[in-house]
Amino acid sequence: MNWLGVAPGTYSVSFSDVQAFETPAPQLVQVTSGNTTTVTGNFVQDGFLRVQLSPAGLPGTISVDGTPRDDYGMWQYIPNGTHQVCFGLVANFTVPACQDVSVTSGNTANVTGNYISNPGAPGANNFGMLRVTTSPAVAARIYVTPSGSTTPIPMDQWGLSWVKLTAGNYTVNFSDVLGFETPAPKLITITNGATTTVVGNFVQDGFLRVLESPAGTDGPFWWTVCHVMTLACGSTFHFISSLHCTRCALTQRRVTPARQAVRPKT
């Protein structure tokens, strides 16, 4: 935002998710009359962790740093550093040992869990399964938060392939995807022996561009979308497809433009 005029007071500034980066935490800022408050959102680039199982097609649960992320395989952006990858029980196979893997910005770390045939070995029990897809298929990161916890677990990208979870209540969230409206969180219940299916419906945005004339109009100015102050005039951004009203605020020595109705196209 470029010098957006707002009333004095305390505000919370949040940032949307950007694929392959860790989203900065919200920041509380104090705006005072006649002064400029500057906020910087520091996005840290992730690495990419790919986990495969051998033989392929085994329903082993892949855990990273002690929390399950997906079954069968995993391709996930993940913060830099050393992470521990572990594998779940599969009937008639010996479980691979946990592996420590180093993940660095912009690079892919590969891990393979090699299951060895062992007839009679026990499999997992007392679990339900969670299947998550997105519509349309987008590279959203799925988060699952157990009931009573305030810490979302970052799961796999794109979807979850029947991941095993302990019975209980959970909240499923989706990361933001550029050009789409993010689905609302979904409350779910996992029961033993059953599969819970969740679909994240991403609605494609249109694109709204507002220009001022003459270009470079001086003085404090901004524009609103249906009475909500948004960005400085002359800005562009993604917006949900619908009918909206826009209006530029008063500028020095200029007549305020009339309100205009627009409908962004998807």
Domain ranges for the chain, please list them: 126-201, 205-266
pLDDT value of residue 252? 43
- Structural tokens at position 141: 């990161």
Beta bridge partners of 63: 68, 86
Phi and psi, residue 2, nearest 5°: -105, 95
- Specify the pLDDT at position 213: 74
CA–CA dist 188, 145 (Å, integer): 10
- Report pLDDT digits (tens) over 3-60: 778 889 999 999 999 999 999 999 999 999 999 999 999 999 999 999 999 999 999 9
Q: What is the pLDDT of residue 259?
A: 53
pLDDT at 198: 97
Contacts of residue 106, defined as CB under 8 A and 6 or more positions apart, other chains included, come to 20, 45, 47
Over residues 160-174, the mean pLDDT reads 95
Domain spanning 126-201: CATH 2.60.40.1120? yes
**What whole-number percentage of the chain has pLDDT above 70?**
81
Name 241's Cβ contacts closer than 8 Å, sequence gap at least 6: 203, 204, 205, 206, 263, 264, 265, 266
CB burial of residue 129 (10 Å; 0-12, 13-18, 19+): buried
DSSP 51: E
Mean pLDDT across the chain: 85
